[in-house]
Amino acid sequence: MLRSQTKLMDLGRRLCRSIGNNNGSNLTMVEVDDKTGIATLTLNKPPVNSCNLELLLDLNESIKQIERNGSRGLILTSSNDKVFSSGLDLNELHQPNQDRLIAFWRALQDMWLSLFLSRVPTAAAINGHAIAVGCVLATACEYRVMLPGFSIGIHATKFGYVVPPFILISYLSVLPRYIAERALLQGKLFSIDEALHVNLIDEVADGKSDAIIKCAKFIGSFAKTQPDARALTKRQTRAQDVQLLIKDPEGQLRESLEYINTPFFQQGLEVYLAKLKSKSKE
């Protein structure tokens, strides 16, 4: 079914957009399946979908567009068949220009809120590694289907980073408290079996199209619900989680930036980036 529809898409009905990048490339792509009404939102920033300011703005705009267009659901996936997302672009945090850092962090908060509170059912087809904010994107969705051979988790403590409260919330909305805390403190990256065992993911798929089909099936489980009642119920369920971020986004922003600007964090990040660089040269 999806296969034949892809064919149709090739004939012209594919809907793509990219907003917020100046180099003409599409950092995210949105395709709406005419038959199911489900939108697929594809992360498309080579090489590893690391989230810089431009990707975050583009992603947020795509999420909002999917809501406005009356899509019946949102499937988040990646055009890269090895990496779903590697997380934040650490260059945005390293010796940052303060104006850009503010814009960057505000974009991160806004995008996360859009995805976490999205009116439509959301599912992640995780077709590659989902690291740090890559994992946060996945856990902000209502359902997760993942391909074998990849890792998922938040490894912030390994490079001296203390995640802001909303990232902890991502974990706590999915995992039991003691597992969320332990994984966060260990900076643990879960194998697919481990992730399935603790319900960090819901299902395993044997390929990207299988993952998309499984996500679509989950979204189909809401077919008989009234969309506005569903959206309001979701918002109400998640209200307490996002209270801080909605009531005082600038305060939350300030706290995050203060930490990022500490010499302690900057020095740790420098060491970590140097290590990554020497590794990639090997």
Q: Which residues bind its own copies (CB under 8 A)?
A: 121, 142-143, 156-163, 165, 168, 172-174, 176-178, 180-182, 184-187, 199, 221-222, 224-226, 228-230, 232-234, 236-238, 264, 268
Which is nearer to its own copies, 48 or 174 (by Cβ)?
174
Take residue 211 and report the two structure tokens written for it.
Answer: 């993952």
Q: Which CB sits closer to its own copies, 85 or 256?
A: 256
Nearer to its own copies, 43 or 93 (CB): 93
Radius of gyration over every alpha carbon of the chain, rounded to an integer in angstroms: 18
Of 103 and 204, which CB lies nearer to its own copies in the complex structure? 204
Shortest distance (Å) from residue 187 CB to its own copies: 5
The nearer residue to its own copies, 42 or 170, going by C-beta atoms, is 170
What is the full DSSP assignment across the chain? Answer: -HHHHHHHIIIII------S-SSS--SEEEEE-TTT-EEEEEE--TTT-EE-HHHHHHHHHHHHHHHHTT-SEEEEEESSSSEEE-EE-GGGTSS--HHHHHHHHHHHHHHHHHHHT-SS-EEEEE-SEEETHHHHHHHHSS-EEE-TT--EE--GGGGT----HHHHHHHHTTS-HHHHHHHHHHTPEEPHHHHHHTTSSSEE-SSHHHHHHHHHHHHHTTTTS-HHHHHHHHHHHHHHHHHHHHH-HHHHHHHHHHHHTSHHHHHHHHHHHHHHHHHHH-
* Nearest distance from C-beta of residue 273 to its own copies, angstroms: 14
Residue pair 137/76 in contact (Cβ under 8 Å)? The answer is yes
**Residue 237 Cβ vs its own copies, minimum distance, rounded to whole Å:** 5
- Minimal distance, residue 251 CB to its own copies, in Å: 15
Cβ nearer to its own copies, comparing 55 with 131: 131
Q: Which is nearer to its own copies, 97 or 199 (CB)?
A: 199
For residue 230, the minimal CB distance to its own copies (Å) is: 5
We find the least distance from the C-beta atom of residue 83 to its own copies, in angstroms, to be 21
CB of 31 to its own copies, least distance (A): 24
